[in-house]
Amino acid sequence: QVQLVESGGGLVQAGGSLRLSCAASGRTISTYGMGWFRQAPGKERELVAGISSGASTYYVDSVKGRFTISRDNARNTMYLQMNSLQPEDTAVYFCAARRNSYSVPEAWRYDYWGQGTQVTVSS
C-alpha cells in the first residue's frame, strides 16, 4: 500500500509561482507512473502533468511552458513547479500513482491518491 501526501499549495497572485510536493510512503514509487491532477468546482478532474518511471513527461496544453513535473526517487517524492500562474489554474491539486510504468490521462486508472492541496490564484 502506498500513501501520498501533497504539500505546497496556497494563495498566490497572478504571475506568481508555487511548488507542489507529493511525498510517498509505504513502498517505493520508482517503478510507478505518476501524475498531478486538478479539479476546479463544477469541473471534471483532469491530468495536468504526468511522469513515467523513466521520467518521460506529459503536459496538458494549458500548462505547457509554465509547469514542470519531476520526481526524485531517492526521496520517494514527486514535484510540480508552477510558474506564471493564472486565475484559471485555481483548483484542488491531487497527486496520483499507478502500478504501471506509464502515466495516463484517465483518473480511474490510478491506484493511489493524495488528499489534495488547494491552489488559489488571485487576479
Distance CA 99, CA 120 (A): 31
Assign 116 a pLDDT band (cuts: 50, 70, 90). very high
> How many C-alpha atoms does 113 have within 13 Å on its Cβ side?
14
**What mean pLDDT value characterizes the chain?**
97
pLDDT digits (tens, 9 = 90+) for 62-88: 999 999 999 999 999 999 999 999 999
pLDDT digits (tens, 9 = 90+) for 7-57: 999 999 999 999 999 999 999 999 999 999 999 999 999 999 999 999 999
Task: Kindly calculate the radius of gyration of the chain based on its CA atoms and give it in whole angstroms.
Answer: 13
